[in-house]
Amino acid sequence: MLFSVSSDKIYKKVTAEWGWQYLATTTSTSYEDLTETYLTGGHQANEHNVDYRITAVDNQSLESIPSDKVTARVAGAPLDKKGNEEYAAENPSEYSLFQNFPNPFNPVTIIKYQIKEQGLVQLKVYNLLGQEIVTLVNEEQPSGNYEALFDASNLPSGVYIYSLRVNGFVQNNKMTLLK
């Protein structure tokens, strides 16, 4: 019986605590994780490493042993699953919008953010056409660490943009819904 590769499964590891997570299946010879911003050149203050590996899948859906890992430098800081206390002090000194977790997700994910001064906070989700999908937060909030739950049960698979606006600060991040 001949082994005929029909696709590759891609796995991603952001931290040792989270372990390897299934990311995608592809039939292409290349793949780009659109949930990350890859870095080259000198080190930046807010960066971390992400590991990837693949497995080959044959026409009977049997999966090979994983490849060696490949490490990439990406923008942002990985979230700690233990909660707000672990990723920022009680009184944040800056505004930050963190990468959602899990990512990719199906159908629910958590978006964490911090604000350094009280203000009107707007956290919205958009599709890639720039159309607003939902407003998760639209209220005055004091300085602190927050999280919002995004339920995409009624949305199709794809890449979505989430945007935090407060006191002139604006940050957008990408997230991927895989169903």
- Which CATH number belongs to the domain containing residue 99 in this structure? 2.60.40.1930
Look up residue 59 and give its two tokens.
């026409």
Stated pTM of the model? 0.53
- Residue ending a domain, choose from 23, 47, 75: 75
- Is 80's pLDDT higher than 60? no
Average pLDDT, the chain: 85
| Strands in the chain per DSSP E | 5-13, 21-26, 47-58, 70-75, 96-97, 108-115, 119-126, 132-141, 144-151, 158-166, 169-177
Note the pLDDT tens digit of each residue in 127-154.
Answer: 999 999 999 999 998 888 888 989 999 9
Percent of the chain with pLDDT strictly greater than 90? 44
Same domain, 93 and 110: yes
Q: Which of 21, 50, 75 is the last residue of a domain?
A: 75
**Do 96 and 44 fall into the same domain?**
no
Residue 77: pLDDT band with limits 50, 70, 90 = low
pLDDT of residue 5: 82
Burial class (CB in 10 A: 0-12, 13-18, 19+), 153: exposed
Question: For residue 176, what pLDDT is reported?
Answer: 96
> Phi-psi region for residue 126, left (φ > 0), alpha (ψ -120 to 50) or beta?
beta
What's the number of domains the chain is made of? 2
Q: Is the domain of 60 the same as that of 135?
A: no
Structural domain span for residue 56: 5-75
- Which comes out higher in pLDDT, residue 114 or 42? 114
**Secondary structure class of 155 (helix, strand, coil):** coil
Look at residue 150 in the predicted model and tell me its pLDDT: 92
Task: Give pLDDT, residue 174.
Answer: 96
